[in-house]
Amino acid sequence: MDRAEKAELVTSLTKTFKSSQVFVVAHYAGLTVADLEELRVQMKTEGGQVKVAKNRLAKLALKQTENADVSDLFTGPTLIAYSDDPITAPKIAVNFAKTNKKFVILGGAMGSTELDVDGVKNLASLPSLDELRGKIAGMLTQPAAKIAMVVQAPGGQVARVISAYSEKGAA
């Protein structure tokens, strides 16, 4: 790789670090190409991405951002998983690490907040943005359904009382 390509890669990584809500750093030593491709496909379908870059270049790119300084994580064969949604990349990385023991999460960052392994796992355990939207929509429609039931209930009770009196009177 010549100097121009390295500069272009640093620029690309800097844009990645600045634009993504969260990124996770992990070791991938021992994973097959098929395993890495599976991780990439999982990330891409959920809106995230995976990049493998030279550690020195990743550290240079990280210094040019306002993200937390996690440059000490970039040792050995590392990859960066990132996404615009703060839950997607950690969730997919943690799930992938459960099935692939050679994939080891080192930590990450969410803006200026440094995340250790437990922080990434905690972030992965949160519901996604779509799940939260669904819960909120359900909560918003629930009061209307309860109001409709309450409004219908007295009318039904009156009808049953009248029906009972009419049956009593007919007997």
Rounded to the nearest 5 degrees, what angle is found at the Cα of 129, between the Cα atoms of 40 and 68?
A: 65
Rounded to the nearest 5 degrees, what angle is found at the Cα of 142, between the Cα atoms of 141 and 146?
A: 125
State pLDDT tens for residues 44-71.
998 889 999 889 998 888 888 888 888 8
pLDDT of residue 154: 66
The CATH label, of 3.30.470.20, 3.30.70.1730, 3.40.50.150, 1.10.357.10, for the domain at 3-126 is 3.30.70.1730
Hey, what are 53's tokens?
């870059």
Q: Answer with the residue of higher pLDDT: 43 or 85.
A: 43
pLDDT of residue 153: 63
Q: If you write DSSP's letter for every residue of 51-101 in order, what string do you get?
A: EE--HHHHHHHHHTSSS---GGG--SSEEEEEESSTTHHHHHHHHHHHH-T
State pLDDT tens for residues 11-41.
988 888 888 889 999 999 989 999 999 999 9
Whole-prediction pTM value? 0.72
pLDDT of residue 95: 93
Q: Is the pLDDT of residue 75 over 80?
A: yes
Q: If you write DSSP's letter for every residue of 90-133 in order, what string do you get?
A: HHHHHHHHHH-TT-EEEEEEETTEEE-HHHHHHHHHSPPHHHHH
Average pLDDT, the chain: 85
User: Could you identify the residue written with the tokens 């029906």?
Assistant: 163
Hey, what are 93's tokens?
């990385």
Segments making up each domain of the chain, as ranges: 3-126, 129-171
For residue 156, name the pLDDT band (cuts at 50, 70, 90): low
User: What is the spatial distance between Cα 80 and Cα 14, in angstroms, rounded to a whole number?
Assistant: 12
DSSP secondary structure letter of residue 29: T
State pLDDT tens for residues 92-131.
999 999 999 999 999 999 888 888 999 999 888 888 777 8
Ramachandran quadrant class, 9 (left: phi over 0; alpha: psi -120 to 50; beta: rest): alpha
The β-bridge partners of 24 are: 81, 108
State pLDDT tens for residues 77-92.
999 999 888 888 999 9
